[in-house]
Amino acid sequence: MLSIVIGTIRQLLAAMAGKASGLWHSRRLVRERQPLVCEPRPQPSPSLPAAHSYAAEDKQLVELIRRETAALNRNNVTRTAAYLDIYRTFPELHWAFLAHMVSRNGGWNMTDLKGEWLPRLLDSRLAEAIFRMLETCNGLIFKDAYPQLRLYAESRRSGRNLSGLLSEFGVSEFMPPFWDRFLRDGNPVPLTEALIVNEQNNIQLRVLDEPYYKRTVLDSAVFRSLPLLQTNQTVFPLWRGEASREARPLRLAGRVLESFADLRERIEFGIDLYGVLFGYPRVLRAAVSFARHIPHTGSRADYWPHRFATRANGKNGEFAEAELAAGNSPWLSPCLAEAWPDRPLPETREQDWYRDGGALDYIQTVRPPRIVDLTHEHLLGQYKLQTAVLLARSFMNGASSRRTGLG
């Protein structure tokens, strides 16, 4: 066991030393900039047309979009693909590609619960509760946002502003003015920020404020310790071509979220991610290339096949752990279909979160962060998890030895 811990610490120190490389790569990635300007701000209004005033063809469209949304909301993989399909057709919808990349991360977070490290730190009930929370959040975001994206697509196709139909899908009164403005001026920045604000408030009200998730997940000691390990990371793999992907690992851009439970922090984090993706053209080009080349499976082997494997190595005992600690064996990261079966989304309260104009404070010109390369930070997070697992096991072995008198 001592040799395993020493090997892990050696890898941990090497990953920490790589932070200097991350600073250098960040400078390269942010050299080219795209301003994300937002002014002035639209003012939300509750005046939406009643459903009975719609034409028969509009009612048919609403039913079509409802069926399509339900079908594509089957799991994280289908949702992630749907976001990318919308973005490919309408690249002016910045939020659709941001949602695609964040949804990929959502899938990776779900499969981590059945991966190499977290099953050794979490009991099965907590892992199930975390998955249920993540799946519910991701499913609710899709249920709310996908109809908005589809209505925009139909507005473009028909030449009519269909934002009046948003009320049919229970979309917050906060959103229609932003869609109206976008259809007039085509500026994606305020719309993207508004969607970030809207969706984070949605899941706060309908999921994270629920006593069940507060009690079983958010207030649990293990979940609250994960930010200390810097594992709340959202990464954007940067494609460099087929040959380079096989020769060396893809670099990662992204950010680290400190507190998932904090609404303001999640909104600011989402806007930061938007700035990283669309404020720096080099990041955007490489991330879009990755999304187009690599289908989403939920496994982290999608972007780092040299570090992660969809199947366990088949070896057991301390020898297998020694190989993992030395970096000689890939870490388990299963595909979503193998980790979690499809399940229906639970019922949540139907209520509009929007009450006052305070949410408008987030709608402003985006100032992207300057440190965006997360390659070594991501590797460091994995080694921190590995170290936590080995230290926990060493502690448990020591406690067992003391109880039996063999230590």
Each residue's pLDDT tens digit, 6-43: 666 666 666 566 666 778 889 999 999 999 999 766 66
Q: Which of 238, 303, 227 is nearest to 276 (CA)?
A: 238
Q: Position 209: which residue type? A: D
- Which residues in 18-132 belong to E strands, given as ranges? none
Cross-strand partners of 309: 332
Residue 246: pLDDT above 60?
no
Q: Which of 88, 87, 104 is nearest to 96 (CA)?
A: 87
**Residue 161 CB neighbour total at 10 angstroms:** 15
Q: Which of 45-54, 244-253, 291-300 has the highest mean pLDDT?
A: 291-300
State the pTM of this model.
Answer: 0.90
Query: Residue 400's pLDDT is what?
Result: 43
pLDDT in tens, 198-214: 999 999 999 999 999 99
Provide the pLDDT confidence category of residue 240 given band limits of 50, 70 and 90: confident
**Residue 305 CB neighbour total at 10 angstroms:** 18
The number of angstroms, rounded, from the C-alpha of 7 to the middle of its chain's C-alpha atoms is: 31
Cross-strand partners of 252: 237
pLDDT in tens, 38-97: 976 666 554 444 344 567 889 999 999 999 999 999 999 999 999 999 999 999 999 999
Cα separation, 366 vs 370, in Å, equals: 12
Cα separation, 133 vs 115, in Å, equals: 18
Query: Residue 324's pLDDT is what?
Result: 52
Q: What is the DSSP letter of 114?
A: T
- List Cβ neighbours of 224 (8 Å cut-off, separation of 6 or more): 218
Cα separation, 250 vs 366, in Å, equals: 27
Cα separation, 228 vs 251, in Å, equals: 23
